[in-house]
Each structure stands twice: as C-alpha cells, then as structure tokens.
Amino acid sequence: MKLFGKELSAKQKKELISQFLAVVLTGIFAITLAAISFAWFSSNRAVRQSGMNIIVSTESIDLLVDRNDEYESGYDGITGATSLQSALTNDDYSLTYTSTSDSSHLAQELRLAEATYENKRFLMPGAYGTLTFYIRPKLGHETDSVRLTLTLGGYKDEYVEETNEQTGVTTSTKTVVPVTSARILALLKGHILFFTGRTGASFNSFVYTGQITDGSFTYDMSEHSTCSDPGKTDCYKIMLYWEWPLTYADIEENISTSSPAVTKRFPEATGTYLAEHPTYFFPFNLPENDPDGKSNSYNDGDQTIGDGVNYFVAYLSAM
C-alpha cells in the first residue's frame, strides 16, 4: 500500500485504518494568515491545497514573496473562501504586492504538498512540502544574520443563526475566528514538523536537519550568497521544509541516533522534542511503555485537529 508515494509498513497500515479515514472525512485543512507574517492557506472544500504568506517588514530587512505561477489551473483557492477573504481585507493584507517595502502585510497563495493523493494536493497526515520566501537587506542596515520566529495557529468557521421575527425565516452567517484551544494549538506543533534543511531526491531518501523546535531559527547571511532568481539577485532565498508524519510509527521508526550512529529521516532532535513535549503529539498523557496507546493517541490528535481547525496558519516574523 502506498500513500503520497510512500510504501507503508504493516504497522503503519494497521494504524492507518481508523485514523486516516477519519481525518479525511472531517475535511481538508486550509491555511490562512493572521497577525504577523508568513502563512499558508486553503479552503477545506477545495480539491487542491494552496497557501498563504504574511510578512511584516523590519528596520534592517524586507521580506518578499514570488507571485509567479501563483495559482493552479482550475483551483479557486482563497478566491472561494469569501469569509476568510473579508477577514484578511479588514486586517489590511495585500494579495498583490510582493515586498514588505510596499505593504507591511502580504498574503500569497502557494502550492503546498509536493506529493498527491488521488491526484489532489492535500494538507493531511502523510503530506510534506516546502515554504519559500526571500530576505532583502535594506541599504544602510546590512546585518550578518536575522532571527526568525515560526509559530503555528489556526482558524475555524463559525456560524451565527438569526431568525427574522416577521417572516420566521432563519439565516446562517459564516464568520472566520481564531482557534483558541490550547490543546489544538499544542497538537499543531507536533503533528506538523518544520526543518531548515532537507536532502534526498524523493521521500524514501529524505533526511531532515535543523528542526525548528523552539519556534525560532537564525539565518546567517554571511554563510550564504544572494540568489539568482530574476528581480531578486540582491535577496537571500530561504526554503523551509515541513512534514505531517502519517502515524506515530512513522516518527518512532525514523529518528536518527548518535550511539550507535544511524542516520534516518528525522534528526535526533525529533526524539528529544517528542520526549520533552508529549502534549504536542498526544492529546492525553500516556504510560511510557505503551506503544499501541501512543499510536492510538497520535491518531486521536489528528482527529482533534481535523475537528477543530478549518484553516491552518504558519506565521513567520523577523526578530
């Protein structure tokens, strides 16, 4: 059995039976933006996923996005999410500018998952992809490095019903509100993992490095060269990598070790992150030696996200 081009083990197949179907049926996640910087987005009714970035300028740098080939043919994406569009417009986010030198808040749709499921690009357990943006140092404010923060959040659709006293007709109005559940916000940190580096030409050979575990990372411009992308030759191109591990076994069986030295898909830091923050992966506490319980609880975490989030958000800002 394959999913997103991955050959599943017997253990993964067993775990997948209940978890995968449940999450798919609850809807595909969308990605939106909110207060500060960089986000990706998509409507959970769409057959394809896309994303959104929000970026805020700083004194020393501008952040940029590339709007070339922004939309996939036949995909209505953000244009079909009118409630979300209204919320973003009210918060002064621009969908046309490409640099924070022109607008302090940018929003851009990006294609999300690199692989497909049933010829559709979904944000769901098993998916993986990249997020790309640019840094342009401002003249007179050159700096060697910049500290960036990456935080995860979500939005959900909320419906308010009103009944006309004269006609008796009840109407329902949809609004988009932030997800405030501490449990859901914690689970997003463990179920969608971000890294600053990745090698390998295909999923089976991926090796991630630089896991973003504390919500921030440093980009040292003195160790990199500006890119060659047209119109951005004075910019540094930054690519982040993300994966939503399909099952708990997908994490547990693919963590690198230093003693013995074994390199696998996830860095050793992933194991430490899991041990130190179990609530990011499991919605309830578990005995340490209960692998089946952890597998079931991880699946419950996916379901909890699916029940409580319509739009997933990744915020990027410069410190």
- Model pLDDT for residues 201-257, shown as the tens digit of each residue: 988 999 999 999 988 888 898 899 999 999 999 999 999 898 989 889 999 999 999
- Please report the DSSP string for 222-234 in residue order: GGS----STT-TT
Convert the pLDDT of each residue in 6-54 to its tens digit.
555 555 555 444 444 444 322 222 222 233 333 333 333 332 333 444 4
**Three-state DSSP class for 208?**
strand
pLDDT score of 181 more than 90: yes
Q: Region 139-163: what's the mean pLDDT?
A: 80
CA distance 179 to 155: 5
Top mean pLDDT of 93-102, 141-150, 274-283, 305-314 is at: 274-283
Q: Report pLDDT for 70.
A: 46
Kindly tell me if the per-residue pLDDT of 173 is higher than 60: yes
Q: How confident is the model at residue 79 (pLDDT cuts 50, 70, 90)?
A: very low
Beta strands, E only, the chain: 2-3, 6-7, 30-31, 61-64, 128-137, 145-163, 170-178, 193-199, 207-211, 216-220, 236-243, 257-258, 261-262, 311-318
CA-wise closest residue to 189 among 179, 201, 197, 200:
179
Residue whose token pair is 């919605």:
283
Short-list 90, 100, 85, 20, CA closest to 55? 100
- Do residues 244 and 191 touch, judged by C-beta distance below 8 A? yes
pLDDT at 24: 34
pLDDT greater at residue 189 or residue 113: 189
Q: What is the pLDDT of residues 268-286, one digit of tens each?
A: 999 999 999 999 999 987 7
> So what's the pLDDT on residue 74?
35
Which residues does residue 208 pair with via DSSP β-bridges, in sequence order?
198
- The whole-chain average pLDDT of the chain stands at 74
Q: How far is CA 4 from CA 123, 126, 200, in A?
A: 11, 7, 16
Q: What sections of the chain are H helices per DSSP?
A: 10-26, 82-90, 182-191, 248-252, 268-276, 291-308
pLDDT tens for each residue of 82-109: 666 666 667 676 767 778 778 777 666 5
Looking at residue 150, what is its pLDDT? 82
Residue 25 CB partners (closer than 8 Å, separation 6+):
none
Degrees (nearest 5) of the Cα angle 221, 225, 227? 115
- pLDDT at residue 45, as a whole number: 34
